[in-house]
Amino acid sequence: MFAEERKNLILEYVNERKKATVQELCENFSVSSATIRNDLRELEHNRLLLRTHGGAIKPDKAGFEPYAKEKEIQNSDLKRRIAAAAIGLIDNGDTIILDTGSTTAELAKLLFQKSDITVVTNDIVTALTLEDHPSAQVILVGGRVRKRFHCTVGTSGKDMLKSLTVDKAFMGANSFSVEKGASTPDLQQAEMKRLMITISTKIVFLVDSTKIGRNSFVQFGPIDCMECLVTDAIGENDRHALEENGIEVIIAG
């Protein structure tokens, strides 16, 4: 087994069980304790888990946020499925917002199926993805670059957004719950997201199932602001509560 493959499997193991000891990881992956400790050290450096004395735990703290590079490899199949379900909500000629995030970045890759669209984004990777789109107008929101998060925040970007009106916003979130809606660990990122919602006629949230039922530090999108949630799976109680509030729930197949 390659080292990167083992680290991904270790991460899945810890996420599923909430915690793991060095000993059980050694037994499960048939490697030495020194190898496991090195793997855990690197995973912690990339903000994917938290090391503890004798093991590691899943990072469920409200203020925790993985870097963009690490988000790209987490639940990537779920994100692609969600993007494939969301592309049908975009029409030729639409003016849309693509929020920063790994799931919205997957949606950006599918926008080559659409024509004559205008895309507003504060995500640098999304802007680069769409640079070669033959008929898309891409508007990159300025501001301070959040290092290692591939996006912009700050006053200049907010001032720019305030002057715009768009048809649809496709929003990401670090966490989502029926009680508190969408939330994120970062205050400035939350401000940008709130403004994106304010200038949009229709709000769609793209949230994979691992984020549902959790809350991060700052709420930016209560459920009464949204028209649609696209996810890969959701509990029946949560789905019923959202639909009772007039929110369409699309399950990506």
Q: Please give the helix or strand (H or E) that residue 188 lies within, else none.
A: helix 187-198
Position 47 pLDDT exceeds 90: no
Write down the pLDDT at residue 249.
98
CATH code for residues 74-251 = 3.40.50.1360
CATH 1.10.10.10 fits 3-59, yes or no: yes
150-188 pLDDT, tens per residue?
Answer: 899 989 899 999 999 999 999 999 999 999 999 988 888
Position 73 pLDDT exceeds 70: no
Write down the pLDDT at residue 16.
80
Q: How many CB atoms lie within 10 A of CB 237?
A: 9
17: confidence class by pLDDT, cuts 50, 70, 90: confident
pTM of the model: 0.74
How buried is residue 133: exposed, middle or buried, by Cβ count under 10 Å (0-12/13-18/19+)?
Answer: middle
**Mean per-residue pLDDT for 209-228?**
91
C-alpha angle 93/95/96, rounded to 5°?
130
78-114 pLDDT, tens per residue?
Answer: 999 999 999 999 999 999 999 999 999 999 999 999 9
Map tokens 């990537």 to a residue. 76
**Mean per-residue pLDDT for 245-249?**
97
Strand 181-184 and strand 218-221: pairing? antiparallel
Give CA–CA dist 206/178, Å, rounded. Answer: 14
Residues forming beta bridges with residue 157, ordered by sequence position: none
Domain boundaries, given as residue ranges, for the chain: 3-59, 74-251
- The DSSP code for 185 is S
Q: How many CB atoms lie within 10 A of CB 90?
A: 20
* CA dihedral (242, 243, 245, 249) positive or negative: positive
